[in-house]
Amino acid sequence: MTPTIEALCQQARQAIAERNWEKARQVYLQALGQQSESADIHQGLATVCFQLRDLPSAAHHFKEVTRLDPRRPGAHINLGALYNLLDRLDEAIAALRKGIQLDPTRGEGYYNLGLVYKRKGQIDLAIHAYREAIRTNPRLADAHYNLGNLYLEKEQFPQAVECYRQALQIRPDWDKPRQGLEQAREGMNFQDAEPEPPEQSEEPQTPVQPPRKLDPTRVIDPEHHGTLLSSLHKAAIEADNHGQAFHELAQNQLEPAIKELSSALIAPDSTLSDLDGCLQRFEDAMRSIRSLRDSLLTSIAKVRVLGEELVKHAS
C-alpha cells in the first residue's frame, strides 16, 4: 500500500529531527512523485538539500516554492541567500528585494542583501542594507559586525567603534568584533595625532615638468582607434545579447524541461507523465542551448581577438 502524502511528510520530518538528512530527502522525493506541485514538499526538500550542502538543488526547490506560493517572503529570502552562495548575485538581489517587499520587517532579508552588495563592491548600498537590518532586528549581531567592518574600510572610525560595541553587547565572547574595535580605536588615535611638519631640505627642488601630450601611437585614443573601438563595442554588445539569450533559454525552456522529465521519471505511472514527449522537449531544449552556447563562445572569442588587436595597436 502506497503511503499517503501526510504519512511521507511525517516520516521526512522525523528524519529531520534525527538529523538524517539523506533519508529525509529520499522520503520527500517520494512524496514529490505523488504531488509535484506542493510548495510545502519543495520547502522541505530545499531545507534538506541545504543541510546536505547541495546548494543548486536547494535553490531549485526554493524557487519552486516561490512559483507555487509567491506570497512566502521567507522562500524568496532563502532563495536570495542561496543565489549569493552560488555567485548569482543579480538574481540574489532580485529575490531578496521581493522577500523584503512582501515583509519589510524581515531583518535577515536586509542582512543578506548587505552581503550581496558588499560582494558587488557597492559599499554604500551594503551599509544602507545593514542599517535596515539592524533597524528591523537590533539583535542581529552579524549585521552590527559587518556594518562595523564597512565603516572601518571607509575609515569612519567612530561609527565602526559603535557598531563593534553593539555586536559585543549581543555576543560578549565574540573575538572578531573585539579585534575590529581595537583597529577602529587605533584608527581614531591616528587621525587625532598632530601631523609632523615636513623636513626642510636645503637641496633645490626639481621644477615640476609640464604634462606630456598624449602620444596617439601609445594610448587608446578614439580619434586614432575609432574604427577598432567601434568594432570592439559592437562585439561586446553581441556577446552580451548572446549571454542574455542563453540565460533566458536555460530559465524558460531547459529548466522546465528538466523539471518535467524529472517528474516523469520519479512518477512513471502518473497520467501526466508522457516520457517520450518529455524526452523530446528536453532534447529540443538541449539542442537550442548548445547552439546558443556556440554563438556565445564565438562572440566571446571575437571580443578577445579585437581586444588583443586594440592593445597591440596601442602599445
- Per residue in 220-242, pLDDT (tens digit) is 555 555 566 567 656 766 777 66
Tell me the H-state helices in 120-221: 123-136, 141-153, 157-170, 175-192
Indicate whether 186 belongs to any domain.
yes
Whether residues 131 and 170 fall in one domain: no
The reported pTM is 0.61
Are 130 and 150 members of one domain? no
Is 209 contained in some domain?
Answer: no
Are residues 99 and 180 part of one domain? no
* Residue 227 or residue 37, greater confidence: 37
Tell me if 180 is assigned to some domain.
Answer: yes
Task: Residue 11: give its domain's CATH number.
Answer: 1.25.40.10
Residues 86 and 148 in one domain: no
Q: What is the pLDDT of residue 212?
A: 47
Residue 14 belongs to a domain: yes
Q: Is residue 211 part of a domain?
A: no
Task: Please check whether residue 301 lies inside any domain of the structure.
Answer: yes
| Same domain (yes/no): 277, 259 | yes
Question: Nearest 5°: phi and psi at 302?
Answer: -65, -40
What average pLDDT does the chain have? 83
One domain for residues 101 and 149: no
Instruction: Please report, to the nearest 10 degrees, the dihedral formed by the alpha carbons of residues 40, 45, 50, 51 taken in order.
Output: 110
DSSP state of 153: H
Q: pLDDT digit string (tens) for 140-149?
A: 999 999 999 9
**How many structural domains is the chain composed of?**
3
Is 160 in the same domain as 67?
A: no
Assigned domain for 76 exists? yes
Q: Give Cβ neighbours of residue 191 (< 8 Å, ≥ 6 apart).
A: 155, 157
pLDDT exceeds cutoff 70 at 90: yes
Residue 154 lies in a domain: yes
Query: Is the same domain home to 130 and 158?
Result: no
Q: Which residues constitute the domain of residue 110?
A: 5-140
